[in-house]
Amino acid sequence: MKFSIAMLPGDGVGPEVVAESVKVLEAVGKGFGHEFRLLHGQIGGVAIDQHGVALTKDTLKMCKRCHAVLLGAVGGPKWDDPLAKVRPEDGLMALRKELRLFANLRPVKVFPMLVDSTTLKPEIIRGVDMVVVRELTGGLYFGKPKKRWQTTKGRRAVDSMLYSEKEIERILRVGFELAMGRRRKLVSVDKANVLESSRLWRQVATEVATDYPEVELEHMLVDACAMRLIQRPTYFDVLVTENMFGDILTDEASMLAGSMGMLPSASLAAVPKPGVRAFGLYEPIHGSAPKRAGQNMANPVATILSCAMMLRYSFGLEKEAQIVEKAVVSALEAGYRTYDIMDEASVRVGTNEMGDLITKNIRA
């Protein structure tokens, strides 16, 4: 089959980790007879430097013409001025909104060979395997009013946690659909004891649940959830939550896996169901890591696993996705580690070598 992919490497280590994914995609293409047409564009700081904006209209158009987008990372100290008119992150926000990527999937899986490389006790994190579904185009990030103004009593600012029942319903469906393919347990995270938008969220969640009688739905307050995530992370299968809650909880959850360099993500424009090919943007959870840039250090695993998610959700290539995931596991089982997951018993490799080792394991 033929697929086109918009490649947006972005800033910092982005170009390095995306380059390793290109090797993986080429190997999958060759091994399984698919054609991946790669189109290249800029996003973030590099786009600001060249065009004055973090995402040009042409790049956005190119993304819309493709079946999926692969993004590296955006941002860096060079563009960090709080008074700057344009920010690298604006490009990402615009992409999410313009491409209607409402469903952000962030799987957190602890690989058995890495249980000792986290800051948490091995017995707590062994067996962790969850997916956080974060609503990505509404809530506190995008709700209006959103502004700052001057009053006679001083400056004021407002952000709004606004949700329509349609927005809540479609993200809940993502949670339920994923839970159906997993352990059938969905935790819907809110702050219904305080927030009106959360009370609507909870009500809609309960209504949607009637369409999925096989799935056990539990409502959990976001503060309790933050606690439970580090106290007993194996408790969770699928979580679904509002944009900002999801942002915070996924940084917390990512630490269970030891390194952000291990965690992929998908942002989809449709509810993923068996047989549905959703348009999506795929990116590692980690940022641009400017201090590591250009040193062949960054862990390419998160981006390569993001490619596996692309094969699964946007191209419907489940078998190929699993082969990429197994290729990653084999490289780790063979004892190869990038700096972020290094331990005494392992062999340290760079971005390039890790990419090559994984690519070598991809065979039809």
Phi, psi (rounded to 5 degrees) for 348:
-85, 130
User: To which H or E segment does residue 158 belong?
Assistant: strand 154-160
Catalytic annotation, pick one of 146, 251, 273, 360:
251
Instruction: Report phi then psi at 50, rounded to 5.
Output: -90, -35
Residues that bind ligand IPM (CB under 6 A): 89, 92, 247
Task: Write down the H helix ranges in the chain.
Answer: 14-32, 45-51, 57-65, 88-98, 122-125, 165-180, 196-209, 222-231, 243-254, 301-313, 318-333, 351-360
Question: According to the binding rule CB under 5 A, does residue 247 interact with Mg ion?
Answer: yes
C-alpha torsion angle, residues 61, 19, 131, 190 (rounded to 10): -50
Question: Is position 121 annotated as part of the catalytic site?
Answer: no
Q: Which is nearer to ligand IPM, 89 or 216 (CB)?
A: 89
Which residue is catalytic, options 97, 247, 326, 356? 247
In 3D space, the residue among 230, 226, 219, 265 whose CA is nearest the CA of residue 248 turns out to be: 226
Closest to ligand IPM by CB, 89 vs 159, is 89
Whether 247 is catalytic: yes
Among Mg ion, ligand IPM, none, partner that 129 touches (CB below 5 to 8 angstroms by kind): none
- The interface region with Mg ion, picked from 101-109, 137-145, 163-171, 240-248 by CB under 5 A, is 240-248
Active site residue 78: no
Minimal distance in Å, beta carbon 314 to ligand IPM?
19
**CB of residue 92 vs ligand IPM: minimum separation in angstroms?**
6
Residues counted in the chain: 364
Among the options 191, 212, 336, 340, which is catalytic?
A: 191
The catalytic residue among 11, 23, 90, 141 is: 141
d(CA 160, CA 141): 8
Q: Find tokens 């995402």 and name the residue.
A: 55
- 129 catalytically annotated: no
CA-angle at 68, arms to 254 and 88, nearest 5°: 60
Q: How far is the CB of 287 from Mg ion (least distance, A)?
A: 9
- Least distance in angstroms from the C-beta of 240 to ligand IPM: 16
Nearer to Mg ion, 26 or 89 (CB): 89
Residue 252 found at the interface with Mg ion (CB under 5 A) = no
Query: For this structure, is 141 an active site residue?
Result: yes
How far, in Å, CA of 313 to CA of 111, rounded?
22
Q: Which is nearer to ligand IPM, 247 or 353 (CB)?
A: 247
Binding site for Mg ion (CB under 5 A): 247
Annotated catalytic residues are 141, 191, 223, 247, 251
